[in-house]
Amino acid sequence: MPKPTSRRHFAAWGFGALLISGVAFGAFHALPAMAEDAVLAPPPAYNPPDLATSETAILSGGCFWGLQGVYEHVKGVTKVYAGYAGGDAATAQYETVSTGTTGHAESVAITFNPQVISYGQILQIYFSVATNPTELNYQGPDSGTQYRGEIWYKTPAQQHVALAYIAQLSAAHVYSQPIVTRVDAFKGFYNAEDYHQDYLVRNPDQPYIAINDIPKVEALQRLFPALYRADPVTVFGAG
C-alpha cells in the first residue's frame, strides 16, 4: 500500500482510523460517501468513424486509481496504464508529482479498438462516470494541479472530437457549473510505479477505493451496460 503522503492517502487512512475507533468503542456509524454523483452525458454528436484497429486516449481527471479501474472494465479497451502526463520525464515519479509543482497530472493511457468502442464513447464515459468536469484542480477529496481534468489529444481528429463534445455538453447545460476540463496537445506519458497499476482491481476493499472509486465502476455498469465488462483487462496478470 502506498505511503500516506498525499491528501488522497491521508483521507483513506483517516477513514480507517475512524472505522477502527468506532469498532473499539462499540459505536460504529456509517460515514458519508465521498464519491461523485454520476451524470449520464449524451453521446457525442460529432463522432466520425475510425478505420484503425488500435488507438490510445490519454486522460487526466483525479486519482489515477479510479480512472484506470473504470476503463479496465470497458469493452473494447485492451490495456490501461496509470501514469503521469503534462510534465517532464525527470519528474515523473509519484512523490515528486504529489508536490503539485511538476506540471504533471495523474493520468491514464487507454489503448482501445475503435471498431468496438469509439474515441467519442471513451470521452462519454469520462464525462459521465470517471470524473467531474466542473471541478478545477481537484476531484472529490483530492486537491492539487496533479488532479486536474485534462484531455491530451494525440491526433487532430481526437482534438476535434474533444472540443466539439465539450461545446455540446456546455450548450446543453448538462452540468450545473461550467466545464473546466482542459484540452491540450499530447506531450508525453510516463507509466506510474508498478504498485499503482491495477490498484482498484487488487484493492477493492481499501477504504479510499471503496468510498470513491467502486461507485464509479458501479455507475459504469448501470449507465453503460452494453460497454461494461465484468472481467477487467489488467496490466499485470490475466484480464
Active site (annotated) includes residue 75: no
Q: How confident is the model at residue 190 (pLDDT cuts 50, 70, 90)?
A: very high
C-beta neighbour count of 3 within 10 angstroms = 10
Q: How confident is the model at residue 69 (pLDDT cuts 50, 70, 90)?
A: very high
Residues in the chain: 239
DSSP count for the chain of H helices, then E strands: 8, 8
Lowest mean pLDDT among 19-23, 31-35, 48-52, 194-198: 19-23
Distance, in Å, from the CA atom of 184 to the CA atom of 195, rounded to the nearest integer, reads 28
Taking residues 168-191, report their average pLDDT.
98
pLDDT at 34: 53
pLDDT at 204: 98
Q: What is the mean pLDDT of the chain?
A: 89
Ordered DSSP codes for 79-122:
EEEEEEESS-GGG-SHHHHTTT-SS-EEEEEEEE-TTTS-HHHH
Q: What is the pTM of this model?
A: 0.87
pLDDT at 4: 37
* Active-site residue (options: 12, 59, 63, 161): 63
Distance, in Å, from the CA atom of 36 to the CA atom of 150, rounded to the nearest integer, reads 18
**Burial class of residue 27 in the structure, from the number of CB atoms within 10 Å of its CB (0-12 exposed, 13-18 middle, 19+ buried):** exposed
Fold of 7-223: Peptide Methionine Sulfoxide Reductase; Chain A (3.30.1060)
Residue 33 has pLDDT above 90, yes or no: no
Q: What are the distances in angstroms from CA 219 to CA 29, 37, 83, 187?
A: 25, 9, 23, 31
Distance, in Å, from the CA atom of 118 to the CA atom of 106, rounded to the nearest integer, reads 23
pLDDT digits (tens, 9 = 90+) for 74-96: 999 999 999 999 999 999 999 99
CA dihedral 196, 220, 168, 146 (to 10 degrees): -20
Residue 20 has pLDDT above 50, yes or no: no
Distance, in Å, from the CA atom of 49 to the CA atom of 32, rounded to the nearest integer, reads 43
Q: How confident is the model at residue 35 (pLDDT cuts 50, 70, 90)?
A: low
